[in-house]
Amino acid sequence: MPPIEQWNWKPWSESKDIPKTMLEKCLKHPPIVTDTPKDQDIRHLVITRQIRCGEGFDAQLVECHLGNPKDRLVAKIFDPLYLNLDGYENYSPTYFCERHYSCEAAAYQRIKERGLDGRFTPRFEGSWSFEIPVRVDKDREVRREVRLILQELIPGDTVKALIESKAAQKINPAVRMELLAQLMETYSHLQFIGVKHKDTYTRNAMVYKDPKDVWHITLIDFSHSGVSGTPTSKWRHKHAELPMSPIAICWGNWPLYPLEDIEEYWIDPKYRDRSARLCWMDKKWGKATATYQEATELPIGRKNSDE
């Protein structure tokens, strides 16, 4: 990961120096050259399907494999050429891509090191760099270095997509509530190992049902995450024996935004009232267990289940 002091989001000294096109910005402000890792490897990627590609996205997503078509993966490509710079046209697209890539790679690496790979998040298959040839005129071709992350393909839909397509209403309300509970527990386990997602919107939670008809929810997109104890992190994680209670992690709120969408289209109607919501959470996690700490600081308005 490049040192944070080298991340320059506005490398042009004056407005007249700002390149006119995205390609010129990419070529004049390329990624920082870092030391080659000792365990470097070369992989041959076969792209089988576009998932989300084109201009205006923060990352390009394609389905792929590394030689075995049955081992379906997703390549998340952090190419600054296609970045959405709306409102930030005078800044470097490379800066944003380097930052997003570094945050995501650090989060997945920590998750894998702590033995949680594939449990709450897609299985991590490593972070990589590759070169793309670009012809700048008829006589000259240059190569751009681009970062990517490989991860397991999750065969489902985001909560956002399920709500927008009205497919969420076809899922049993009890199942929807259990999926939210799983997600809150995911936040607790990840923060326990020093990972905070920081972009907990419905677009970043994937829902699917496995071959045994068991429902799962998986957290994706760690490009805005924080990881404790890294050279670029200001977060110093405090040691604890157990993960924090999911109630405390979410401050007694639902775990996804926009809250109005969750409350209207995902939450069982009987839990939309704040008092009922806190009672539901308290029954699940209010007491200390072998898995979580006790929620000692009660959110405002929460009624203790013992009263």
The token duo for 227 is: 């990881």
Are 117 and 111 in contact, with CB atoms under 8 Å apart?
Answer: yes
DSSP class of residue 305 equals T
Are 295 and 288 in contact, with CB atoms under 8 Å apart?
Answer: no
Q: Can you give the pLDDT of all 307 residues of the chain as single tens digits?
A: 555 556 788 888 778 889 999 999 999 999 987 777 777 788 899 999 999 999 888 899 999 999 999 999 999 999 999 999 998 889 999 999 999 999 999 999 999 999 999 999 999 999 999 999 998 888 889 999 999 999 999 999 999 999 999 999 999 999 999 999 999 999 999 999 999 999 999 999 999 999 999 999 999 999 999 999 887 778 877 788 999 999 999 988 999 999 999 999 999 999 999 999 999 999 999 888 899 998 875 554 444 433 3
pLDDT value for 305: 38
Paired residues of 212 in beta bridges: none
| Ranges of each domain in the chain | 4-152, 157-285
pLDDT value for 236: 78
- Phi, psi at 233, each rounded to 5°: -100, 140
- Do the domains 4-152 and 157-285 sit in the same CATH topology, yes or no? no
pLDDT value for 304: 41
pLDDT value for 36: 72
pLDDT value for 303: 42
Please give the CATH topology (third level) of the domain spanning 4-152.
Phosphorylase Kinase; domain 1 (3.30.200)
Please give the CATH topology (third level) of the domain spanning 157-285.
Transferase(Phosphotransferase); domain 1 (1.10.510)
Cα separation, 304 vs 293, whole angstroms = 16
